[in-house]
Amino acid sequence: MSIFEPLQTLEKNEELFRQQLNGLSKEQKKAFYEAQSKKLKDPDTYAALNWLFLGGVHHFYLRKYALFAIELTLLTVSIIGFFLGHASSIYIIILLAVYELPQLFFSQKIARQYNYNLSCHIFNEVRKS
């Protein structure tokens, strides 16, 4: 799923998923909801992290550790380079900002997509067991 796909596509997928979830037994539903409640991420928290903190902290929140490390490293190196007078560090900061803008504006949708994918994964595990 892409962040640029229409929101209606995500909503349709979520509705189809809810219908599938209704087909589980009581025990399976209980197991699903217990596992899901421990791992779901709050879209508002993700949005706040995206708005307030630099360096990809929002990626860390969604367990995208490699992306977090890359962004934090690039930001740190570019800030150090800026204070040392390297002109290329400004370009890195600008590129990071351009990369982050779509994620900033679609932060609620990104968190919902994460939760949907997580729920599908948990659903498949519960259904197999």
Which tens digits make up the pLDDT trace of 30-60?
A: 999 999 999 999 999 999 998 888 788 999 9
Give residue 77's identity as a one-letter amino acid code. V
- The structure's pTM equals 0.87
Domain boundaries, given as residue ranges, for the chain: 8-128
| 8 Å CB contact between 24 and 126 | yes
The series of mean pLDDT values per 10 residues for the chain, 129 residues long, is: 86 95 93 94 92 88 95 94 92 91 91 96 92
CB-based burial, 10-36: b 16+ in 10 Å, e otherwise = beebeeeeeeebeeeeeeeeebbeebb
What span, in angstroms and rounded, lies between the C-alpha atoms of 56 and 6? 24
Note the Cα 47 to chain centre separation in Å.
10
What span, in angstroms and rounded, lies between the C-alpha atoms of 36 and 49? 22
CA distances from residue 42 to 20, 97, 112, 123 in whole angstroms, order as listed: 23, 23, 8, 19
